[in-house]
Chain A
Amino acid sequence: MLGLELERIYKDFGSTRAVEPTDLEFREGELTALLGPSGCGKTTLLRMIAGLEAPSGGAIRLGGQEITARPAHKRRFGMVFQSFALFPHLNVQENIVYSLVIAGIPKAEALQKGARLLDLVQLGAFATRRIGELSGGQRQRVAIARALAQEPAVFLLDEPMSALDAKLREDMQVELRLLQQRLGITTIVVTHDQREAMTMADQIVVMSQGRVEQVGAPKAIYDRPQNAFVADFIGKANFFDAVIEGSRLRVGAALIAAGELRFVSGAEVCVALRPESPYLDTAEVEGTQLSATVTFVRDVGPVRDIHLDTEIGPMVVECSRGETGRDFVVGQRTQVTLPAAALHVFPREQRRAA
């Protein structure tokens, strides 16, 4: 089935380009996360999809039909705003049935539907509360129910978790994902939190400086970042600069074995290494061994971050509990093994700070 398609959509504000020409596809019933640091154009992209911002060029199609010129109030894509934008002069129930009432649906019918939506977001007892009396989490549920009331073709959420505290955020991510799967609604979530994106999304669109850096399933993006920006922004990574020497990487005096390389010898590259991929003090794994000194140990319970000083520079290695039984103390000497497959190699100039 055809979902929502963007074709060469771009946006200029005056002389600055907020969104570079972008092609994207949002499959029906899937949840896509637009992920990137603030100012990367993800919210502008979402607002263009909602019809709140007119694209400077390009086309938007829904189910194969062009809707680029259709105004927001005719698209009627339900949207949850960062601040939730609940109307303070209306109570919970009135907020939820707002779209139905202005569409001229009889009040009784609208209220009936409103009650079902309230149950859906588990706020049945709050129908007549004022917005000011609700907690952040409750407000978010109201905002979600309100956006869903009109049964939108596409459901949009702009940083929906940013107003919630950390604990609640994780619960709501799971809850929202379950709700979305149950309703089978095409959903687009804007977020700057990669954990949030990975928790909820079928497809992640990583953006930076108005450009799409990579599109793919969460795991694919994590395991196979296409460039240094994605490697840095999604998850953590150790970075070091290297020069290609055949099938190996030269970093200072050290030579490190790498997997398949698409670079000629002498090319300057940037290497990313996830902190969970190196091994400490083991001879059983294949890979390049480097000697290292422990400089700091950060123990946060389920995992320990071991900060090392190695031949090729500082490095952080993450050990989950039980993986290595032994303790590490600052100043201790150790061996770190870098498996060739764990090294992600990118051209040097691509690296930009996230």
Chain B
Amino acid sequence: MSDVTQASVVPRRQQSAAAGPAVPARDHGRILRQLLWGVILVLCVAPFMLVFVISLGHKIEGASWELGFSFENYRRVFVGANWPEEITYLYLQKLYYSLYYALIAAVLAVVTAFPFTYLLTGLSRRAQAAWLVFLLSSLSLSEVFIVMGWDVLLSNRSGLPMVFKETGLTQWLKDVGWFGQLREWGLANPRNIKFKTSVLATVLTMAYLVWPYAVILLYPPLSRLDRTLTEAARTMGAGPWTVMRSVVLPSLRLPIFGSVLLLFVFLLGVYVAVTVFAEPAKQTMAVSVYEAVRGNTLNAPFGAAQAVVLLITAALFLVAGQWLSRRGS
């Protein structure tokens, strides 16, 4: 903390020689610094601390809770409330679905965003700026709106199922016998195909949700990729696909891996898409947190415990990713 008290408002290098120290300014600097630390600790750190503290407490009658020190809530998350008489993995299953959806959606988003970003960085700067405006607009669009759009698109009364029916695709699927297979996968009802509610719809929407993020994450490494590298490879007789496989992909292994990881962590917290598109039995931990804290069950400490589990899972993946990428580089 001694660094903190050594307040300065100008780069150190200049400080060494330029302007002599003005004592009152230094005092102001220290006050400002302490204030800043205070604000950030309260606003950015305290909420996470509170979640942890409250997760050790317990619920009392009347939808309220009190502080305590027990791991009862965590026990419930991992092995169920009635352990050891009876073991249930209900919440671990929710965690499993959190990871499952997030992983598939993150990989899907990066796999499709990569070729797009590669092509994007080859465009003129103006075109790139236009695309970025478009992507950022889509990215900043609330989860709520995107889910709404896909909901309309995938709903049975309008959208894609209607298109399938009207164009005769449904009939064709029935004729070739694939319809039965779709029904087994939960992608059809007796009369027509359906997308809601299914794992497919959930994962697709989640992938869509983070797709612009994937582009934004891949954009810096791809735009800084030395194009003479690929040109050199081409002069040595490598075709476009060989260049991609032997030069571009290997040199971008780390950014690609990092992007998947960040999107994955982000997707762990997705709420709206899951509630709308996932089947009731396949909901995620984020939904469960919401239900416990603000929904029907109103058990804040239990919700907090699940949030902590979710947070630790996210942190573990981030740390593991860091470790892997450091080993890889």
| Residues of A that sit less than 8 Å from B by CB | 51-54, 71-73
Contact = CB atoms under 8 A, between A and B. Distances in A.
B176 interface: no
A59 B12 CA distance: 23
B44 interface: no
Contacts of B16: 53-54
Contacts of A72: 17-18
Interface of B: 14, 16-20
A73 B19 CA distance: 7
B105 to A, nearest CB: 43
A52 to B, nearest CB: 5
The 7 closest A-B pairs by CB, nearest first: A54-B17, A71-B18, A72-B18, A54-B16, A52-B17, A71-B19, A51-B17
A71 to B, nearest CB: 5
A69 to B, nearest CB: 8
A52 B13 CA distance: 8
Contacts of A71: 17-20
Nearest to B20: A71
A27 B14 CA distance: 28
B21 to A, nearest CB: 10
Contacts of B14: 52
17 contacts: A51-B17, A51-B18, A52-B14, A52-B17, A52-B18, A53-B16, A53-B17, A54-B16, A54-B17, A71-B17, A71-B18, A71-B19, A71-B20, A72-B17, A72-B18, A73-B18, A73-B19
B109 to A, nearest CB: 38
Q: Which among B16, B17, B18, B20 has the greatest number of chain A C-beta atoms within 10 A?
A: B17
A54 B18 CA distance: 9
A81 to B, nearest CB: 14
A51 B16 CA distance: 10
Contacts of B17: 51-54, 71-72
A73 B16 CA distance: 13
A307 to B, nearest CB: 35
A169 to B, nearest CB: 28
A184 to B, nearest CB: 28
Contacts of B19: 71, 73
Contacts of A52: 14, 17-18
A72 B14 CA distance: 9
Contacts of A73: 18-19
Given A51-B17, A71-B20, 15 more contacts: A51-B18, A52-B14, A52-B17, A52-B18, A53-B16, A53-B17, A54-B16, A54-B17, A71-B17, A71-B18, A71-B19, A72-B17, A72-B18, A73-B18, A73-B19
Contacts of B20: 71
A51 B20 CA distance: 12
Nearest to A48: B17
A72 B10 CA distance: 14
A52 B17 CA distance: 5
B25 to A, nearest CB: 15
A54 B20 CA distance: 12
Nearest to B16: A54
